[in-house]
Amino acid sequence: MIAKIEDHCRRDKEVPTLLNQTERSQNMRSLRGTSVSASVLLLSAMVLITGCNRGHSADVVATVNGHPIMRADMEKAYQEQLGEAQQQQQQTPSPDQADSLRLNVLQSLINEEIVEQRAAKMNLTATNDEVDAKLKEMKAPYTDDQFEERLKANHTTLDDLKHNLRRTLTINKLLNKEINSKITVTDADVASYYNQHKAEFNFIETEYHLAQIQVTGIPSAQPGNLQNSKATNDAEAKKKIQVLKNQLDSGADFGVLAMNYSEQPETAPNGGDIGFVPESRLRTDPAVYAAVTKLKAGEYTDIMPIVDPQSKKTVGYAIYKLLSREPAGQRDLSDPRVQQAIRQQLQDGRSQLLKGAYFEMLRDQAKIENFFAEQIFKNDAH
């Protein structure tokens, strides 16, 4: 619980859920293992290659329905992912690891191109007005000079940012139309889930339903917020959390700020909602316990330091909001909050399933030529 403008080339969180079915594969986020399995490379080549000995420019690493994906784009995305992996593990990849990471990067670019083409056919490409509105929202916490500094710090340009905003918005529009709008959870579904999981709704002690806004100066941490907003050092973290606190004091919505700027990737997408925290667990952090238990529902704490339990050093800052305080006991199905929690969980599960199936359908319909995978396979075969 107490646990940038970040380069928006790292797409919206929901996009990788569809595209790789496991959140843009952690293989892209870090270098795993010490070598690349021959079977993995073989599978990548066999699945993605639709023919051999085709003439093509060396600048093109793949095509999707004839649309080229350029080597420069793959290398740019590779360097971004490599930088993250090295920050986390501080190691230089072997040649096989580098090729494995490039394959994963390219697979994501291919997947995104497939979905973008589908969106274009359905006239769902994000408009200039939609992109400008999202950009304005991203710039809100910063002055013009600060925004420019953020772009420079993340080695990106305004044009790159707008391009990737358009891609993110486009894919989300497609998902909402093709997936989310078609999901129905009935009252019978909710009742069935409740009857099978009654114990989940029996609180043996008082629980606190909390939300949080968290900011950390750790540069390698992934923010997981809508704006990809990320502090890169302690000074930036202090400044950012104070700006957010000032906005809260001025009446800004806690959940909206959390979704856009909190740097806790597991809770930011849900408006900072941590869920129900048992009192015994809350007591493990006396400072947070003391602050939270003084709150009334709807109130939030002051800025609180996040302290690493081992080093005892401050690694970030948080603001907690008390959504509700729940006494011990069984929660009935008639409780609207129980119904909503079950409904949301069932909807999220179905959404994930449908996204995976939907992407498989799109991929089956696409003509994909992966020249980079072919090159790796040929080189290893000799």
Helix, strand, or coil here: 351? helix
Q: Where in the chain is the domain with CATH 3.10.50.40?
A: 205-327
What integer pLDDT is reported at residue 151 of this predicted model?
A: 83
Q: Which CATH number fits domain 205-327: 3.10.50.40, 3.30.70.1450, 3.40.50.300, 3.30.360.10?
A: 3.10.50.40
CA nearest neighbour of 254 among 203, 288, 210: 210
> CATH number of the domain at 14-177+362-381, please?
1.10.4030.10
**Residue of higher predicted confidence among 82 and 374:** 374
Whether the CB-CB separation of 262 and 215 falls below 8 Å is answered with: yes
Three-class secondary structure of residue 372 per DSSP = helix
For the chain, give the mean pLDDT. Answer: 82
Q: What is the pTM of this model?
A: 0.56
* pLDDT of 14: 39
Distance from C-alpha of 118 to C-alpha of 26, rounded to nearest angstrom: 25
Q: Is the pLDDT of residue 277 over 50?
A: yes
Q: What percent of the chain shows pLDDT beyond 90?
A: 55
pLDDT of 30 over the 50 cut: no
Going by pLDDT thresholds of 50, 70 and 90, the confidence category of residue 54 is low
Residue spans in the chain of domains classed CATH 1.10.4030.10 = 14-177+362-381
HSE-CB for 42 with a 13 A CA cutoff = 4
